[in-house]
Amino acid sequence: MWKPDRNAKIPIYRQIVEHLERRIAFGELPPGSQLPSERRMAEQLDINRSTVIQAYEELRASGLLESTVGRGTSVSRTKWGLTPSQTPNWHHYTEGGAFLPNLPLMRRIREVTRQDDQLIDLASGELSDDLFPNRLIQDLLKEQPFEEHLGYELPQGHAGLRGTLSLFLERQHGIRTTGSSILVTSGSQQSLYLITQCLLSPGDAVAIEDPSYSYSLPMFQSAGLRICRLPVHKDGIEPGDIIQLYREHRIRMIFLNPNYQNPTGSVLSMAKRKRLLEIAAEYRIPVVEDDPFSLTTMQPEPPQPLKSLDQDGIVMYIGSLSKIAASGLRIGWLVAPQSVVARLADARQQMDFGLSIVSEWLAERLMSSERFDDHIMNLQLSLQLKRDQMAESLHKHLPGEVLFDLPQGGLNLWCKINHKINDSRLLEDGIRSGVVFVPGSVYGSEEGYIRLSYARPLLKEIDPGIMALAQALRMQNAR
């Protein structure tokens, strides 16, 4: 993001004026484009609000900006002789389309984490830099130079990577499959997107856990799907609820995250897993199992994925490297019947002609390395240290105010706050205090819950982050 140069001879307000003039002239800010409020712009640029007021006043005087009470400041609809009739109504276009924007709270979280690197990030589910296998990847690149063909890759994914994935899934999770039943994707969300767009139709009813990470993804609503809730308990959903939902809504698909569920951290019990598979088979309802966290386990043996128990071919299994190795490689996978893989691969070819061969080649080298298991073990130990530090800090700084169950894997603590809060106000108070987190309503829960991630912050940042959260809660109580 652009920042003014504090060492330049030009006053900061003039730098802002010239920057906005360029953006308007280049068409980046067409007529009618909404600008941040003076306060928000000052926060983004880390300057005094009076400086922004001065810049906006000069732009209003020149006719480039216009302000309306209750609607804020926007680019003038008549500038330099250019009238709206000559310019498309971009606001109308951006408000349209079938693919919905992210939830406002999620957009706010991403905005502040991009702009302020001093914030302690307890919101992101991404690993901290020290948990990425950087040294291992550097060594792999030195040991074997890249000599693959640089043309388009197969839409289904690089054959070598799919073969390695089949061995990896059997060794780590007991999932027996072949490369022909695997689709390589750019991550779990692309797998979900392909499923919702290609295997379901507008008006179809689907069952989703409540609360669930899926509620933070507007892709379900964008696809026109009807969402039916499956309440999550300490040992996961109740399989019997599926029968009731099928009778009432004829649900077409079930979306689950049974291992260290996001955001609650719960694990579906073995008895419930078996019963769920029986019900799904009886009513012929496909199950989509999203499993990003199994290898973050802090237990001697991780719980088995549903797919490893599936005898009827009803489970589509989704995984990725994002939560266990390197989110930037953009490598995920979907295990499904070959007819489904072929359908989704065809759609994938229409989207992007397949992933980068460089990322796929590197992922194959990484996952087939003998040192990858060592990386996973170190990751598990590091996450456990972070989890324990977060729990200790919550007990120290917020005794009795925040309740949570200690998860045995995953990247998050799901916390219940013991007094009434307003989600959006608490988030803003947290930002002012120097910390960012995810309000529980983003995941479909009622107000009073927050998700705290211990993956992104460094170990030394967790205690100051919880202290900042405690300060934000005190600000709420003082109102």
Are 221 and 360 in a shared domain? yes
Give the model's confidence band at 46: pLDDT under 50 very low, under 70 low, under 90 confident, else very high.
confident
Are 86 and 235 in a shared domain? no
- What is the β-pairing status of strands 315-320 and 287-290? parallel
Domain assignment of residue 134, yes or no: no
Are 312 and 364 in a shared domain? yes
Percent of the chain clearing pLDDT 70 (strictly above): 96
113 has a pLDDT exceeding 90 = no
351 has a pLDDT exceeding 90 = no
Question: Residue range 169-196: average pLDDT?
Answer: 94
* The predicted structure's pLDDT at residue 83: 47
- The structure tokens listed for 276 are 């769920």
* The predicted structure's pLDDT at residue 84: 47
Are 274 and 240 in a shared domain? yes
Distances (CA, A) of 348 to 94, 158, 341: 24, 14, 10
Question: Residue range 193-205: average pLDDT?
Answer: 95
Are 348 and 263 in a shared domain? yes
85 has a pLDDT exceeding 70 = no
* The predicted structure's pLDDT at residue 211: 95
* The predicted structure's pLDDT at residue 217: 85
Are 341 and 405 in a shared domain? no
Average of per-residue pLDDT values in the chain: 91
Q: Which of 370, 385, 417 lies at the terminal end of a domain, its last residue?
A: 370
Q: Which range, of 88-92, 295-299, 419-423, averages the lowest pLDDT? A: 88-92
Are 270 and 187 in a shared domain? yes
Q: Which of 320, 335, 370 lies at the terminal end of a domain, its last residue?
A: 370
246 has a pLDDT exceeding 70 = yes
* The predicted structure's pLDDT at residue 136: 94
CATH number at residue 64: 1.10.10.10
Dist. CA 248–CA 8, nearest whole Å: 67
* The predicted structure's pLDDT at residue 79: 55
Domain assignment of residue 278, yes or no: yes
pTM for the structure as a whole: 0.84
* The predicted structure's pLDDT at residue 114: 82
Domain assignment of residue 2, yes or no: no
Scan for tokens 């730098």, then name that residue: 15
Are 190 and 318 in a shared domain? yes
Q: Which domain holds residue 464?
A: 106-126+374-478
CATH number at residue 243: 3.40.640.10
Question: Residue range 432-440: average pLDDT?
Answer: 95
Dist. CA 31–CA 231, nearest whole Å: 46
Dist. CA 438–CA 5, nearest whole Å: 33
Name the residue with higher pLDDT: 71 or 193. Answer: 193
* The predicted structure's pLDDT at residue 153: 84
Are 219 and 79 in a shared domain? no
Domain assignment of residue 229, yes or no: yes
Question: Residue range 280-296: average pLDDT?
Answer: 96
176 has a pLDDT exceeding 70 = yes
* The predicted structure's pLDDT at residue 23: 87
Give the model's confidence band at 144: pLDDT under 50 very low, under 70 low, under 90 confident, else very high.
confident
Question: Residue range 65-74: average pLDDT?
Answer: 86
Dist. CA 129–CA 134, nearest whole Å: 9
Domain assignment of residue 101, yes or no: no
Number of domains in the chain: 3
80 has a pLDDT exceeding 60 = no
* The predicted structure's pLDDT at residue 87: 59
Which strands, in side-by-side order, build the sheet including 332-335? Answer: 182-185, 332-335, 315-320, 287-290, 253-256, 205-210, 226-231
Distances (CA, A) of 19 to 5, 26, 67, 90, 456: 12, 11, 19, 21, 33
Domain assignment of residue 141, yes or no: no
Domain assignment of residue 139, yes or no: no
Are 335 and 383 in a shared domain? no
pLDDT one-digit tens code per residue, 364-373: 999 999 999 9
Contact 415, 266 (CB under 8 A): no
Give the model's confidence band at 282: pLDDT under 50 very low, under 70 low, under 90 confident, else very high.
very high
Percent of the chain clearing pLDDT 90 (strictly above): 68
Are 393 and 415 in a shared domain? yes
Domain assignment of residue 4, yes or no: no
Question: Residue range 277-282: average pLDDT?
Answer: 97
Question: Residue range 280-289: average pLDDT?
Answer: 97
- Cα 242–chain centre separation: 26
* The predicted structure's pLDDT at residue 81: 46
Q: Which of 370, 405, 430 lies at the terminal end of a domain, its last residue?
A: 370
